Structure 1
Amino acid sequence: MALSEPKSLKYADILKELRVSFFAMNRLTSFPWILVENELQRNKSSDLISELLQQTCLHPLCQKFPPSVRYRRLFLSELIRREAADCDPLDQLYDALAEVLGAEEATECYKSYLLPSSDAVSLLESVALISEGTTGLVTWEAALYLAEWALDHKQVFTGRSVLELGSGVGLTGITICRSCSPHRFVFSDFHPTVLQKLRDNVHLNGLSNDSSPVVSVDELDWTTVTEEKLREIRADVVIAADVVYDPEVAESLVKLLSKILSCWSVEVQPEIFICSTVRNPETYSSFKLQLENSGISQEVMTGPVSQVFPYNRLSPIELIKLYR
């Protein structure tokens, strides 16, 4: 059932793209609405709208982990706007809209990121980008990119102990735990509200100290953590995403990375991967210069990654591997 469009997406592809974007609360303007409209005009029925509703607002995942009330309201309004004019109105669609119109908006909502295995990583996130003085209560682009890179390079994590710095709400780490079979995974952060949200999300996704992999959530102050603590963690792989956004934070990170690398001999040093959205080139260049001045070498990891999650791919993102 091909559509006469340049990309020639099939009916099932339209459903999949909208489902993935809906649960991740991707921007509604990025949805393939023109393809939806063309299919509706071609079929002259509301079957596609009905199926889209089943795959989004009426899906069991939405019942368990619903996106924000405002987002669902806007999404349903878009579906209503695109209903074929010569088709009977779909009662389920208007019933779903009536339900969200009567719901109260909260300060938190769920975002679900669908994995290639058809499993989902569901996270409770803040509706606001900055909340309680921190940006750590939402998922950022570099975390999504690093998760995609991990899915393409599972061998880096399989059977190994992994430490994640600045885990935030947990998207990257939970994806690795779900898909890459690490032996042990240590999530870490410092802000108390972020740590509590992180623990909630780890638990939400069925991970614990008794699960496989063995998982823990640790408070880690980059400025005071001891070499003894780092040796206790004994990570084979260290990762971090979107942690180079402030000059002071970048300086603390470089000192921490130096401490991590000094804990072991060159032969047994962990692999370290830092993924950054380069929002401020000056801050990022300063971070890389500090690495160089600390004797830490870097290698930019090039090559495409499989596009699994919906997010803004126009942002400049760089993944580097560090070693001494």
Structure 2
Amino acid sequence: MKQSRTRFFDTLKYQFLCCHPLHCINWEVIPTHLTWEQQQELIEKTVFHPLNQKQPIRISYQLNFLKRLIEQLERHCDEVHDIVYESYCSVQQRVAQDTTEKYAYKHYQQAALDISLTLRESKSFVAEGTTGLCSWQASIALADYLAHNTDIVNGKCVLELGAGTGFCGMILLQCSDVRHVLITDGSYECFELMKENVRRNFGDAETCDDGYVVKEKLLTMSVLEWGAVDEMIWPNSFSTDIILAADVVYDDTAFDSLVYAIDYVFKMKEDACEMLLAATVRNEYTLQKFLDLLSSWNFQYVDRNVTPVDKCYFYWDRTTPVKIYHIKRHS
């Protein structure tokens, strides 16, 4: 019983810190008849967690989280601890102030991988004319897939296209033996946010001409517009082995430039590289249109299974399915 409760508390902590959608949390498995001490522990692991106190997640999320938690506690406990209600009132008082803030934080923690990653990101899905200033579910799904399959990137040079906040590349640095990660985005605003997030998470890393050295692994950042990939100045000794891209195939007006960039990088390696593409399937027709375009450029792709819920290291909204494709081209 104690082991089950501890597992639930830890799961809820991880989900809270990364703002996992409330409708995706299994509230029905909350342990019944929690004592006051256990309720206090639950609050201390979530709302009062040191990361949330120092770099708070969205206030609106915290408020709705506490609403749902209170509903469950009132249903299953003889008495609800005052600290729960006090936490709700305290967060509620910050709602008006929070409406003026454009950015908030998310914290991705996974003890099994010794990972702790904090992202500052936009609270809006679209900001500054781009969708890349916040993390998307396909990026998290791709990072989870790679965390389970580190052999794909170990010892390799990895190029990420449309990296946005830099989430996936930074996860690789923490959980794999990747040789060099180059995270890129066509938006200057995303590039600046990536730099900020890298400094936040790897502030103690050694700097070099091309970027950062993190435990003998290189991390480089660059602005890269897909249609202008031929103007890219590549870091010294970087030669792409793996291309990563997540949530980049929602806008068919960008497909030609994206495939042009993929083709350019493959040709640089004489097709001796490969790609992993993660896509949230919002519109099957749009996704298939991109896959057909890939095929017309002589690329082959196969499905890879996303990580099952019961085995995932990170959490993402599975209401809309995510697909991961392994892409190659034979000379």
Match for residue 127 of structure 2 among 126, 131, 154: 131
What is the SS of the residue equivalent to 1:225? Answer: helix
Match for residue 254 of structure 1 among 259, 271, 274: 259
Partner of 1:300: 303
| CA distance 1:228–1:14, shift in 2 (3 Å) | closer
Unaligned runs of 5+ in 1: 3-8
User: What CA distance in whole angstroms lies between the structure 1 residues aligned with 2:213 and 2:277?
Assistant: 27
Q: Does 1:152 align with 2:148?
A: yes
User: How far apart are 1:228 and its partner, in Å?
Assistant: 6.7
Q: Does 1:99 align with 2:99?
A: no
Equivalent residues of 2:107, 2:117 under 8 A apart: yes
User: What CA distance in whole angstroms lies between the structure 1 residues aligned with 2:39 and 2:125?
Assistant: 31
Letter in 1 for 2:69: L
| CA distance 1:299–1:81, shift in 2 (3 Å) | closer
Equivalent residues of 1:186, 1:217 under 8 A apart: yes
TM-score, normalised with respect to structure 2: 0.86
Equivalent residues of 1:143, 1:275 under 8 A apart: yes
Partner of 2:227: 223
Match for residue 71 of structure 1 among 58, 61, 79: 61
User: What CA distance in whole angstroms lies between the structure 2 residues aligned with 1:83 and 1:112?
Assistant: 25
Q: Within 5 A, what are the aligned runs for 1:116-195?
A: 116-195=112-191
Q: Does 1:315 align with 2:320?
A: yes
Partner of 2:19: 25
| CA distance 1:246–1:210, shift in 2 (3 Å) | closer
TM-score, normalised with respect to structure 1: 0.88
What is the SS of the residue equivalent to 1:226? Answer: helix
What is the SS of the residue equivalent to 2:32? Answer: helix
User: What CA distance in whole angstroms lies between the structure 1 residues aligned with 2:109 and 2:18?
Assistant: 8
Partner of 1:58: 48
The count of aligned residue pairs is 312
What percent identity do the matched residue pairs reach?
Answer: 25
User: What CA distance in whole angstroms lies between the structure 1 residues aligned with 2:151 and 2:180?
Assistant: 14
Letter in 2 for 1:254: V
Equivalent residues of 2:239, 2:269 under 8 A apart: no
Moved more, 253-262 or 224-233: 224-233
Partner of 2:200: 204
User: What CA distance in whole angstroms lies between the structure 1 residues aligned with 2:92 and 2:291?
Assistant: 49
Letter in 2 for 1:251: D
User: How far apart are 1:31 and its partner, in Å?
Assistant: 2.7
Equivalent residues of 1:147, 1:176 under 8 A apart: yes
Letter in 2 for 1:69: I
User: What CA distance in whole angstroms lies between the structure 2 residues aligned with 1:159 and 1:123?
Assistant: 26
Equivalent residues of 2:276, 2:324 under 8 A apart: yes
Q: Does 1:283 align with 2:279?
A: no
User: How far apart are 1:95 and its partner, in Å?
Assistant: 3.6
User: How far apart are 1:47 and its partner, in Å?
Assistant: 2.7
Letter in 2 for 1:161: C
Q: Does 1:114 align with 2:101?
A: no
User: What CA distance in whole angstroms lies between the structure 2 residues aligned with 1:58 and 1:228?
Assistant: 45
Q: Does 1:46 align with 2:50?
A: no
User: How far apart are 1:142 and its partner, in Å?
Assistant: 0.9
| CA distance 1:304–1:31, shift in 2 (3 Å) | closer
User: What CA distance in whole angstroms lies between the structure 2 residues aligned with 1:247 and 1:29?
Assistant: 30
| CA distance 1:299–1:88, shift in 2 (3 Å) | closer
1:24-81 per-position Cα deviation (integer Å, ceiling 9, x unaligned): 1122233333332x512xx5x2233211111111111212221111211222333334
User: How far apart are 1:185 and its partner, in Å?
Assistant: 0.9
Equivalent residues of 1:122, 1:205 under 8 A apart: yes
User: How far apart are 1:220 and its partner, in Å?
Assistant: 0.4
Letter in 1 for 2:223: E
| CA distance 1:294–1:263, shift in 2 (3 Å) | same
Unaligned runs of 5+ in 2: none
Letter in 2 for 1:210: Y
What is the SS of the residue equivalent to 2:325? Answer: strand
